[in-house]
Amino acid sequence: RRYLSIDLYDEFMEDLLEDDRARPTEVYQRISSKWLGQFRIPISTIYLNQRIEGTFEIKTPPILFGYTRSTTGTEAPEYTSMLIGSSLPDMRELTHISLFISLEPNVEIPTFDTHGLECIELEQTKAR
């Protein structure tokens, strides 16, 4: 694995109790979660920088069933564009997440001493 993958889920509880008289003594609930998207960052980036902070785009599916996009500002989101080769509208807009990732304690980046290693290159190449 060369990436740190962060999956974003929406978790909600569904009440399964049908009889309101039993509500004080019994609890029947189902916890469900829906996948909203994923963010991947190379582990080498975290390792070399030791700390990453910022706002990153989350890869989301084209349509999130059961969700509506809230309007921000005065403009309503447009869902009129069509996917090529598909009859479903592309309801996806860019979704972002703000993260702060750090390695603690700080990890020293190792240095490799190649001076004592044998070289199998031609003498002309070594002379350059």
Tens digits of residue pLDDT in 88-127: 444 456 888 899 999 888 777 777 776 676 766 667 766 6
SS3 sequence, 5-48?
EEEEEEEEEEECCCCHHHCCCCCCEEEEEEEEEEEEEEHHHHHH
Q: Which of 80, 60, 59, 77 is nearest to 68 (CA)?
A: 77
Q: Is the pLDDT of residue 85 over 60?
A: no
Mean pLDDT of 40-52: 90
Q: Which residue has the higher pLDDT, 91 or 70?
A: 70
Tokens of 75: 């403009």
pLDDT at residue 5, rounded to an integer: 94
Q: Which of 103, 88, 8 is nearest to 47 (CA)?
A: 103
pTM (whole model) above 0.85: no
Mean pLDDT of 30-43: 90
As a whole number, the mean pLDDT across the chain is 75
Angle 93-98-102 from CA coordinates, rounded to 5°: 145
Structural domain spans, the chain: 3-127
| C-beta of residue 21 within 8 angstroms of C-beta of residue 5 | no
